[in-house]
Amino acid sequence: MKKIILPFFSCLLVLTLLLGSFGSARAEVGDDPVVTPVSGDMDFTTEVVPIASLPGIIELADLMLAPAGFPEGEAQFEGAAVRVTGMDSGKASACFTISGTQYGWGGKVGMWNGTKWMLLPTTITSPDETPNSIACATIAGSGTYAFVKYVTEPDLLPAGKPNCLEIGAEVGLILGFFDSPEGTFLTNLSGYISPNEYSWVTYQIINYSEGVTGDLYGNDTTNVLSRFDFTPHQWYVPYGGHFTIHLETPSCYYDWVFTEPA
């Protein structure tokens, strides 16, 4: 077993290389969009469109693909888009699975009009049985639709709490990982955040690129020495992909960015 130890400031990050097989497939983070006819033309075709194939996109410094026409860094796509063809009349409901509304994120369904993304009136609901939310908009015709995500409630952002390093806490992460021909599997997540002894710790996967799969949320109650363990949570990151693990305790938060080179 090999260990790579990357100390920085008061944070110790340990990546442990695990040799073995990845036992089970994980569902895609977020479901594909669903278009349901409401009135008029009931016979139309839908096609899921990956973000990289959308019109009107720009590449940000962190390699994330974002919708053009918005201040840089203020808006992003969430999940795949959908292309509707053959809808000559009537209305339908286009719904997208989204994450992070409990942390201040929201947004609207956007339609590409040939020159820019037009935001449509959107209703967001948050079912009790899932950490995800559902964003739905009424559409009236063929076109390409995507969910444009941005901050709607700044007071709920993690930045409302200090970074754990800012208050002198020590953070250690242990992730198992191994490569595949298409990308990297990360298995499990454990570690410690001290001095938050006998406390709860949650994690959320945020700012993830297309193709990232795995367990989006988790929570644990730390035991002695402030250790937490999210085993057997797992993720897959394709080459060129990235995501952020957001850890939060009652007193602070810590974000760790994983990027898989192309």
Token pair for 239: 């080459």
Residues 135 and 39 in one domain: yes
Give the domain-ending residue among 99, 129, 155.
Answer: 155
Q: Mean pLDDT across the stretch 221-237?
A: 70
- What is the count of structural domains for the chain? 2
16 with 90, same domain: the answer is no
Full residue range of the structural domain in which residue 125 is found: 34-155
| Residue 50 and residue 127 in one domain | yes
Peptide bond into 195 cis (omega under 30): yes
Q: What is the pLDDT of residue 222?
A: 53
Q: Do residues 110 and 184 share a domain? A: no
Provide the b/e sequence for 153-187 (b: ≥16 CB within 10 Å): eeebebeebeebeeeebebbbbbbbeeeeebbbbb
Please state the pTM of the whole predicted model. Answer: 0.57
Instruction: Name the burial class of residue 134, with classes exposed (0-12), middle (13-18) and buried (19+) by CB atoms within 10 angstroms of its CB.
Output: middle
Report the greatest alpha carbon distance in the chain. 63
- Identify the weakest region by mean pLDDT among 23-27, 75-79, 82-86: 23-27
CB count, 10 Å around CB of 201? Answer: 23
Of 121, 155, 189, at which residue does a domain stop?
155
Contact 246, 204 (CB under 8 A): yes
Q: Are residues 16 and 109 in the same domain?
A: no
Of 155, 186, 217, the last residue of a domain is 155
Instruction: Examine the domain organization and report whether 211 and 119 are in the same domain.
Output: no
Half-sphere exposure of 69 (CA within 13 A, CB side): 16
Least reliable range by pLDDT among 37-51, 147-161, 241-255:
147-161
CB-side neighbour CA atoms (13 Å) of 20: 11
pLDDT at 253: 83
Residues 87, 198, single domain; the answer is: no
Same domain, 162 and 242: yes
pLDDT recorded at residue 14: 41
Per-residue model confidence as pLDDT tens digits over 119-175: 999 999 988 766 678 999 999 999 999 999 888 886 676 556 788 888 888 888 888
Q: What is the pLDDT of residues 200-214, one digit of tens each?
A: 777 778 777 778 887
Do residues 191 and 172 touch, judged by C-beta distance below 8 A? yes
221 vs 97, residue with greater confidence = 97
Tell whether 99 and 190 lie within a shared domain: no
